[in-house]
Amino acid sequence: MREGDWETIPSLLRARAATGGEFLVVGDRRVSFAELDDLAARVAGGLAARGIHPGDRVAVCAPNGLEWLALFFGAARLGAAVVTLNPRYRERELDYMIAHSGARLVLSVARTAEWDFASYFESSRSRLPDLEEVVYTGEGAPPGCARFDDLAGDAAPPDVAPGPGTAAMILYTSGTTGRPKGAVLTHRSMLASAAAQASHLGWDRSTASVMAMPLNHVGGITCGILSSLVSGGRVVLLPGFSPAAVLAEATRHRVGVLAGVPTMWVMMLARLHQDPKSYDLSSVRVAVVGGSILDPTLAAQVAEALPAAVLVNLYGLSESSGASVLSAPGDDLATVTRSIGVVIDGFEARVVGADGRQLPPGVPGELQLRGDCVAAGYWNLPEETAAAFLPDGWLATGDVAEVEPDGHLILHGRTKEMYISGGFNVYPAEVEAVLGAHPSVALAAGFGIGDSVYGEVGCYAVVPRAGAEPSPADLIAWCAGRLADYKVPRTIIVVDDVPLTPAGKVAKAELRARLGYSRGESS
């Protein structure tokens, strides 16, 4: 199937439907490409019958599932954009994203064990004037409200042909440091990232994967679903992440690809250690770790647990629609832990200084990306769009990196997370990696806090490994033996867990508030 045959998401799904084959495993249900295409067409018809037109926004707030994907592909067929909401969001977040995007319809779960969404939507009518209807999926819909089956009725889809530059998704950024912004992902940008990833990793119709990353993030929808759609592979789709469920489904379906962010891998490895005889991962040939810098200790543990698998680092952002940098073929374990990889086919990367000029190899600066994967900007935020989406197509990632002579990229961390201690730049990711190498630490996350002498010093939260009781004093001494003195944490706090974004990254702003610090506040 030639790339020119599918310039948009619905044309790709229709092309796959014509070739036949199974695409999804959702619980005990198996769904072919053709069945998903038919369901998407009926959803497109149902949306149109409700007055949804090309260019409108519809939102989805539900766990991973067939209904979620049916709305996404149905809206894409209609030329509408899907606003992705996480069912972990609460009133403040939902109010902001639904109102800011102007979503006219929401497909939502009625309730979860933690929250009653139906009650929220009933009480939010006055705050969300653009929202015309809530359609419910799953059990517990309020009386008289529309259900997913009503949306996916028998109405024929209108004859609409969205273009490659049409908005397919508005994905609000994780908000690790502040208020989220709605990245506008187009058909072109999402398919460019998905196709480049599938090609770089050599995926084809024999490739099977377990997908537990949230669909409301590029790690799920682009890196997981669309990359598999491009390759024609099969996806075992889980409603959410559970280490036991992922390992059980990987064993049951003999998948070749296992992927997750570092926090997911930490939990999966702990589960494997607790119950090694229940799982057989000998079929796994590719282990993908994305979302943040890969800790060497974690990398070694993954390699030991999956000796037949190639370990791959994946770097991408909401603004790049998915993967843009991957480990190069043949990269050994040392290279994968040192570098996030190389820019993948069709895209470009450069590292620039504060003056915007490109820096030579070995000099840290801001990483910028260019290519069809770059999103169209932020929804209704012209100033933020101008700051990140630069002339000549470059995307300012906000990440500090350096490039090696052979093109491998070394990531230092977020520009906004950097703090200055005694006149020296400190990137928390480096300190977090050192703390993560301690045998009693499962996860570490930190930030700078104000200090009257040094300006800022490091404060880090650590989550202990099962059964371990790390001492803050011992951990500070551990860092002192491995880091320059200005990088050594001043404060270490042992916690049971850390707050995570919907994509599984540490929510630094929430962590800072949970530990009782505001930006610049001293200990």
Q: Give the end of a domain, one of 163, 180, 209.
A: 163
**356 lies in the same domain as 442:** no
Distance (Å, whole) CA 252 – CA 310:
21
**90 lies in the same domain as 35:** yes
Burial class of 58 by CB neighbour count within 10 A (0 to 12, 13 to 18, 19+): buried
Pairing state between β 365-370 and 348-352: antiparallel
Instruction: Fill in the DSSP letter of residue 136.
Output: E
Distance (Å, whole) CA 429 – CA 508:
12
* Sheet hosting strand 455-464, strand order edge to edge: 441-451, 455-464, 491-494
What is the structure's pLDDT at 523? 45
**223 lies in the same domain as 92:** no
Q: Give the end of a domain, one of 163, 183, 203.
A: 163
**37 lies in the same domain as 116:** yes
**234 lies in the same domain as 343:** yes
Distance (Å, whole) CA 313 – CA 10:
29
- The answer to the question of residue 470 being in a domain is yes
**401 lies in the same domain as 463:** no
**399 lies in the same domain as 448:** no
Q: CATH code at 141?
A: 3.40.50.980
Check: CB of residue 456 under 8 Å from CB of residue 439. no
**396 lies in the same domain as 509:** no
**454 lies in the same domain as 494:** yes
**389 lies in the same domain as 250:** yes
Our count of domains for the chain comes to 3
To 10 degrees, the CA torsion angle through 429, 430, 431, 432? 40
Backbone φ and ψ for 36, nearest 5 degrees, come out as -65, -40
- The answer to the question of residue 222 being in a domain is yes
- The answer to the question of residue 176 being in a domain is no
- The answer to the question of residue 26 being in a domain is no
Distance of CA 505 to the CA centre of its chain: 8
- The answer to the question of residue 178 being in a domain is no
Pairing state between β 29-32 and 22-26: antiparallel
Q: CATH code at 355?
A: 3.40.50.12780
- The answer to the question of residue 490 being in a domain is yes
CB atoms within 10 A of CB 452: 6
Check: CB of residue 427 under 8 Å from CB of residue 418. yes
> Most distant CA pair in the chain: distance in Å?
70
378 three-state secondary structure = strand
- The answer to the question of residue 460 being in a domain is yes
Can you give the pLDDT of all 523 residues of the chain as single tens digits?
A: 444 467 999 999 999 999 999 999 999 999 999 999 999 999 999 999 999 999 999 999 999 999 999 999 999 999 999 999 988 888 888 999 999 999 999 999 999 988 899 999 999 989 999 999 999 998 889 999 999 999 999 989 999 999 999 999 999 985 444 567 999 999 999 999 999 999 999 999 999 999 999 999 999 999 999 999 999 999 999 999 999 999 999 999 999 999 998 878 988 999 999 999 999 999 999 999 986 678 788 899 999 999 999 999 999 999 999 999 999 999 999 999 999 999 998 999 999 998 999 999 999 999 999 999 999 999 999 999 999 999 999 999 988 899 999 999 998 876 677 787 876 768 788 889 889 989 999 999 999 888 777 778 999 999 999 899 999 999 999 998 888 788 899 999 999 999 887 667 788 888 988 998 865 444 4
Domain that holds residue 466: 418-514
What b-and-e string marks burial along 115-132, b requiring 16 or more CB atoms within 10 Å of the CB?
A: eebbebbeebeeebeebe
Q: CATH code at 476?
A: 3.30.300.30
Check: CB of residue 370 under 8 Å from CB of residue 348. yes
- The answer to the question of residue 476 being in a domain is yes
What is the structure's pLDDT at 177? 44
**357 lies in the same domain as 482:** no
Residue type for 409, please?
Answer: L
Instruction: Fill in the DSSP letter of residue 52.
Output: -
**134 lies in the same domain as 120:** yes
